Amino acid sequence: MSRLPLLLVTRPGIGGAAKHVHMICDLIDKSAFEVSVAASPLEDPRFLIQLAQTGVRVVEFPLKREPHPGDALALFRLVRLLRRRRPALVHAHTSKPGLLARLAGTAWGIPTLYTPHGFYFHYDLPAWKRRLYRELERVAGMWTTRLVCVTEEEARQADEAHLVSPSKMVVLPNALRLDQCEAKRPRAEVRAEFGIPLHAPLFVMVGRLSSPKDPFTLLRAADRLADDVHVLFAGEGEQRSEVAGLARELGMEKRVHLPGHRDDPLDLTAAGDIAVLSSKWEGLPFALLEAMALSRPVVATDVSGCRDALGASGAGVLVPVADPDAMAKALGMLWADPNTRAKMGEKGRRLVEEKYSAGLWIKRLEALYLSVAR
C-alpha cells in the first residue's frame, strides 16, 4: 500500500506552533503518510534538525515574521516545491505560511489545510493592520479546504469574521505526550541554579518576552506582593531588555530571573509554585497544558485559549487582561492556600489526561488528512 504524500508548511521555530508541527512529525503513522516539511531556519535553525530527527524530509523555506519583499520569492519557491513534490495535501501553520501555502496549493489544485494558532487581526495592532489581516484571511479562505482551529473560541472568531463556511471548520485542540511531561531535575536543584530559596514563592512564565505575552503585567503583579516573591521568565524576545529595566525600576532585579530560551521549560515550571500566563491573546498555549500536566495551578488571563483550557475546570484562575491588581490578588490568594494549589494541580493533571491526549489527537488528525485527500 502506497503512502499518502503530505507537506507541512511552517515558519516559527519556537513556541506553540513549532511544538505542534514537531509532534505531528513525531507521532504520525509513517507507514501510511510520507511526510515532508517546508520550515524556516531564520528563527531557530535547530528546529529543522529536530524535525529531521523524527524521520521526515525537511526543506528549508526561509520566511521572516513580518511582511517582507522576500515573501514573493518564498511564494515562488513554494509553488515550485509543490510542482516537484505533488503532495496529496498541504497543511500550513500560522498566518504567513498559511496565506502562501493556500495560494500555492490552489494554483496546483492541491487540498490545503490551515491552522492559524491565533489570528493576527485579534492582536494589539493598529486598526488598519487588523483590517488588512482580516481581509487577507477572508480572501485566503476561498482557497482553504479545511480551517483547523485549536480552540472552540478560535473557530468562533473565524465564523464571526466569515473566513470560511462552517462546513470547512474543524476544531482539534492541541495535545500533549504525557510520557514526556515530566521534570528531569529536582526542584531544589533548579532553584539553586538561580539562587532562589527553596521555600520562597516562585511564579514561572514560559513564553516569548514579547507584546502578545505581556510580561510586564506579571512583573507589576509580583511587585504588589511580598518582598520575597521570585519570578522566572523562561523565554527570549524583543522585550527582554525592557523587562529587565522594569525589574530594576521596581527594585526586583535580584528576584526576577531571565535565563532566555531554555531547553528545559518543564523543569523550570515544576520548580515553581504557580504557572502564570499574562497574555493579551493566545491560541491554546502548550505552556498552560504542560503546567497542568505537571500538576501546577495556573493563573492566566481570560483570553480565548486559556479560557477554553481552564474554563470552569477548577485547575486555575482566570483574570482580566493587563490588570496587575487582579493578577496580584489571584497569586496572593493561591500562595496563601497550599491546599487549594494542590487540588488545582490535581484537577489540571486529570483534565489533560482526559481531554488533551496526544494519542487521540494524532488519530483524529490522520483521519482528517485521509478524508480530505480522498
Q: DSSP labels for 19-32?
A: HHHHHHHHHS-TTT
**What are the start-end ranges of the H helices in 142-237?**
152-160, 187-194, 215-223
The residue type of 42 is L
pLDDT at position 230, please?
98
DSSP reduced 3-state for 336: coil
**Predicted model pTM:** 0.85
Task: Give the residue extent of every domain in the chain.
Answer: 4-175+357-373, 178-355
Domain 4-175+357-373 identical in fold to domain 178-355: yes
Exposure string of 263-294, with b = 16+ CB inside 10 Å and e = fewer, is eebbbbbbbbbbbbbbbbbbbbbbbbbbbbbb
Topology of domain 4-175+357-373, CATH: Rossmann fold (3.40.50)
Query: Residue 117: which of 234, 236, 20 has the closest Cα?
Result: 20
Q: CA-to-CA distance for 371 and 348, rounded, in angstroms?
A: 33
- Whether 52 contacts 37, CB under 8 Å: no
Query: Which residues of the chain are under the pLDDT cut of 70?
Result: 1
Q: CA-to-CA distance for 2 and 238, rounded, in angstroms?
A: 46
The residue type of 45 is P
Contacts 24+ apart (CB under 8 A), 248-251: 250/219, 250/220, 250/223
Q: CA-to-CA distance for 337 and 368, rounded, in angstroms?
A: 44
pLDDT at position 193, please?
97
How is domain 178-355 classified at the architecture level of CATH? 3-Layer(aba) Sandwich (3.40)
pLDDT at position 120, please?
78
In terms of Cβ atoms closer than 10 Å to its own Cβ (0-12, 13-18, 19+), residue 199 is: exposed
pLDDT at position 308, please?
85
pLDDT at position 1, please?
61
The CA-based angle 31-35-38, given to 5 degrees, is: 170
Q: What is the DSSP letter of 245?
A: H
pLDDT at position 94, please?
93
pLDDT at position 67, please?
80
